[in-house]
Amino acid sequence: MSNQSTTCVGKKESRLHAYAAACGAIVGGANEEEIEKLRKYGHYVGIIQYKDIQIDLEGK
C-alpha cells in the first residue's frame, strides 16, 4: 500500500471514531463543549487504532 493510501485510510479511521464519539455525546445530551472534547478523543482513539492495525499488518 502506498504512503498516500495509508494516510487516506488513517484519516478515515480517525474520522470514523471521531464521528461515533460525537454522535454518542449528542444522543447523551452533551453540550457543544463536551461534544467537541469527545470528538477529539474519538479522533485520537482512531489514530491509535490505525497505528495498531499497521503494526499488525507489518509484523513489527
C-alpha span between 6 and 15 (Å, rounded): 14
pLDDT at 6: 62
pTM, 2 dp: 0.79
pLDDT at 56: 86
pLDDT at 57: 83
Q: What are phi and psi of 31, to 5 degrees?
A: -85, 175
Mean pLDDT by 10 residues, the chain (60 residues): 66 92 98 98 94 83
Residues contacting residue 42 through CB under 8 Å, at least 6 positions apart: 14, 17, 18, 19, 20, 21, 22
pLDDT at 4: 62
Where do the structural domains in the chain lie, given as residue ranges?
Answer: 16-58
